[in-house]
Amino acid sequence: MDIKSLDISQFTPRLRQIPDAPSKIFVSGNLFFNDEPAVAIVGTRKATAQSLRTAREIAVELAQQGIIIVSGLAMGIDTAAHEGTLSVGGKTVAVLGNGLDKIYPAQNQNLAKEILSKGGAIVSEYEAGVPSFKQNFIQRNRIISGLSLAVIVVEAPERSGALATAGFAARQGREVFVVPGGFNNYNYVGSHLLLREGARLTASVKDIIEDLGLESLEKEFKKGNVNEAESLILKVITEAGSALEVDKIIQLTKLDAQKVNQNLASLLIKGFLEEAGGGYTI
């Protein structure tokens, strides 16, 4: 693994400005340097199947908008977030609590390799040879939040490292979002405590994008994520200013019916269009 040492002057501005920034970090792969939008997804290692799906889905949707996903490579929620990002070709950064000469946990060695092969990065403030001491994991959480615009907590019990990450985020002036869980569910005690303390309850990725003011990024990213037929369909619907039925879209685009229907289905899946009153609207 090729490892670079960066001093504080070489950090992304967002990380450089945190109150307790490390004096240097070690990086393998391609860390972002210009404060590109990044969001952390964290939570318990012993997550429920539902929360693993939720973390993965959030990562997928954010990555599809060009947002970098940051997490800690731990089992559970971290792993789901990294894997979700990679599944759609997104970029993800893993922050470790030990030297980069050894991937911890060992079960995620292949995941770490995939992160690097797909343009992401593995980061640590610890030199090669430093083992994974318990206190290191708490300290590394300030780097996870420091690299990010916000931290999303998915399933955190009362004693969870995710709460430490949320605490660092709050002190760094970052937003903290929480996915709520069931009433009296032990695995969400910490999550609900964060909500009582003022974290933002989130029910959708759209909420997160709006609260972070990233709608323009979403629109710009979408422009490059459509084919020629999809672009033409979007153009005629936008110019109409109201919902259009399929027959009208076929008439205006001069595309054959099969092609229109195929591309309408694609645009619905991508989130560009909504069905309304028997037609389609932006």
Domain ranges (residues) in the chain: 4-217, 226-281
Whole-model pTM over 0.85 = no
Helices (H), the chain: 13-16, 49-63, 77-87, 109-117, 134-146, 161-171, 189-196, 205-211, 215-223, 228-240, 246-253, 257-270
In degrees, to the nearest 5, what angle opens at C-alpha 155 toward C-alphas 151 and 161?
65
Q: What is the pLDDT of residues 136-149, one digit of tens each?
A: 999 999 999 999 99
Considering only CA atoms, which of 157, 181, 266, 174 is closest in space to residue 211? Answer: 174
Which CATH code of 3.40.50.450, 3.40.50.2000, 1.10.1040.10, 3.30.70.260 fits the domain covering 4-217? 3.40.50.450
The fold for domain 226-281 equals Arc Repressor Mutant, subunit A (1.10.10)
253-273: b (≥16 Cβ within 10 Å) or e: bebeeeebeebbebbeeeebb
Q: What pLDDT does residue 220 have?
A: 54
Q: For 209-241, how does the pLDDT look when each residue is reduced to its tens digit (9 = 90+)? A: 988 888 755 555 555 567 788 878 888 887 777
The pair of structure tokens assigned to 171 is 């002190």
pLDDT at position 221, please?
Answer: 54
